[in-house]
A and B are shown apart, each in its own frame.
Chain A
Amino acid sequence: MLALKSFKETLLRLLQHRTSFAGLLIVLTIVVLAIGASVIAPRGYAETDPVNRLLPPSGQYFFGTDVLGRDLFSRIVYGARIALWVGLLVTFIEALMGVTLGIAAGYYSGIVDKAISAVTDMVWAFPPVVLALGVVTVIGPGLTQVVVAIAATSWPAFTRICRAKVQSLVNREFVLAARAIGETDSSIMARYLLPNLMPSILVVSTLVLPSAILYTTALSFLGFGAQPPTPDWGAILADGAAQLRIAPWIATFPGVFIVITALGFNLLGDGLRDILDPKLRI
């Protein structure tokens, strides 16, 4: 039976694992940037100063300035907030939807399972970017819309894994026992099944988070996401793409940060999977 290993033990094993330790460090750095943005960033993210536009990286402007003379370093530091917030929010919504449906599908076999699985398969098969574009078309561009769109299209990862896990657990002694002593279905799902899913949910979350960041920045890049002057990394990158020739630094730095952040979470997630649930296929 899978049970959530103690936090201390998990952490200890993460630290021993070289790559996941690196991932943990990266994630922590991004978290620090996000939390301390207002202290770390030398200027405001929306502060325009056209006289000093398009300056290359220097001691004063670490990452240079953009077309409106905004300090790119400050924008990227504030951008960490947005990336993290978006990633967490998307993952949370996805987990909420996906886990609920997954447990229900696994627990009730028959028509409920069939219906949920059919919907899951359909959503799963659809390219998230295409679906998200559709959603954004209807509710208009904006970060919130993108969060909803991405979450609405990527939850099947959770559903599939939870369904499979619940199916393997549902005939186990402790569940049968719980049923025998008259626990309600919802109580069995919440108090007996859910705790057993936690390690897998944690792993899936860590691995889903970077792809959520990648998708939202992609939609921002296409112009459907964050609205100016929001320092979303994808949006900064899109602005920089037009200046790729005369000011390549504008497009370079946000890209580097997206890669590093996604890499950090992926490494961490891989490590967590090895520790908590090595058989998990994601």
Chain B
Amino acid sequence: MATPILSVEGLRTYFYLSGGVVKAVDGVSFTVNEDEVFCLVGETGCGKSVTSLSIMRLIDHPGIIEEGRVLYKGKDLLKLPESEMRKIRGREIAMVFQNPMRSLNPVFTIGDQIAEAPMTHFDVPSRDAWKTAIEFIAKVKMPDPEVRAKSYPHVLSGGMRQRSMIAMMISCEPSLLIADEPTTAVDVTIQAQLMDLLLEIKKRRKMSMMLITHNFGLVAETGDRAAVMYCGKVVEIGSVADIFREPLHPYTQGLMNCLPIGTQRKKELEVIPGTLASPVNPPEGCRFAPRCGFAMGECKLHEPPLTAGGKDRFVACHLYRS
């Protein structure tokens, strides 16, 4: 049933700072299938946002996409000329960013900013684009679309801004929507509404969605498949159900233990010892090894490759080799 729409292979994105090279994404591979919600999970700073920006080729100075392939419907996005890539952005792959406060241009109206994308991609006259904008504002369930279209972002609440953002991004009906922590910056009460809206749109338009989050709860509720990232690397991929039932990688296990899931009352939530490894000088071998309770001698020497750990499951850990 699964036709891949996007597959990322061996992606490496490094940032060249005067203090050293930050290997934010260091050999990441995964596949997003059509009509599914794929989750990229990990702690803050693990490289999941950089991965999504690399897919869109929105990496800024001083970052550079070093190597890898990003196959979208069979085309390697990293090899496309910039002009072709522009046609992909917004039209084929759209992206909702995490901070609605800052992701909307303060000096233009909402309608203006939404209308821009159809104007660019479909070459429609501005009056029609404006109508489209109002239509999409209605679709994201904002009251008074006509009035809202003329508002500047700063008069809107966080939730309303994120709705405008979503409207802006789906206005060209993309095939893949990347949502980078779409609900982190809004009130808890709004979070669920927004998530429902996204899923509803996804369902109605038969889009694929790549959800980037640090929130395992959210993954459990919405995700079809998930990849867990740690320090610029994918450590585990599998269906959400599988991962939650039986996490393979010690890091995933650690994360699970931090969660108060369902009714399984634990006496205490566990904590993963140590701190996130530095992406500038990552430890030799497995990057999780210094914090890992199961670390063996080999872990400190060789990096474990991502290998099959079951049906449709992959894990990067020496425990599951042999």
Contacts and interface: CB of A to CB of B under 8 A. Distances in A.
Query: Interface SS of chain A: helix, strand, loop or mixed?
Result: helix
B19 interface: yes
6 contacts: A9-B19, A13-B18, A13-B19, A16-B18, A17-B18, A275-B18
Interface in A171-229: none
Interface in B1-35: 18-19
Interface string A4-42: 000001000100110000000000000000000000000
Contacts of A275: 18
B203 to A, nearest CB: 42
Contacts of A16: 18
Which of under 10, 10 to 19, 20 to 34, or 35 or more describes the interface residues of B? Answer: under 10
A244 to B, nearest CB: 44
A16 B19 CA distance: 9
Q: Which 6 A-B pairs have the closest CB atoms?
A: A13-B18, A16-B18, A17-B18, A13-B19, A275-B18, A9-B19
Interface of A: 9, 13, 16-17, 275
A17 B62 CA distance: 14
Interface string B266-307: 000000000000000000000000000000000000000000
Interface string B224-249: 00000000000000000000000000
A275 B19 CA distance: 9
Contacts, number: 6
A13 B18 CA distance: 6
Nearest to A5: B19
B321 to A, nearest CB: 40
Contacts of B19: 9, 13
Contacts of A13: 18-19
A273 to B, nearest CB: 13
A17 B18 CA distance: 8
A275 B18 CA distance: 9
A23 B203 CA distance: 59
Contacts of B18: 13, 16-17, 275
Contacts of A9: 19
B153 to A, nearest CB: 22
Nearest to B19: A13
A45 B115 CA distance: 71
A73 to B, nearest CB: 38
A278 to B, nearest CB: 11
A114 to B, nearest CB: 25
Nearest to B17: A13
Nearest to A14: B18
Nearest to A17: B18
A8 to B, nearest CB: 13
A9 to B, nearest CB: 8
A203 to B, nearest CB: 16
A255 to B, nearest CB: 34
Contacts of A17: 18
A9 B19 CA distance: 9
B22 to A, nearest CB: 15
B260 to A, nearest CB: 26
B14 to A, nearest CB: 17
A13 B20 CA distance: 10
Interface in B39-53: none
B17 to A, nearest CB: 9
A20 B18 CA distance: 13
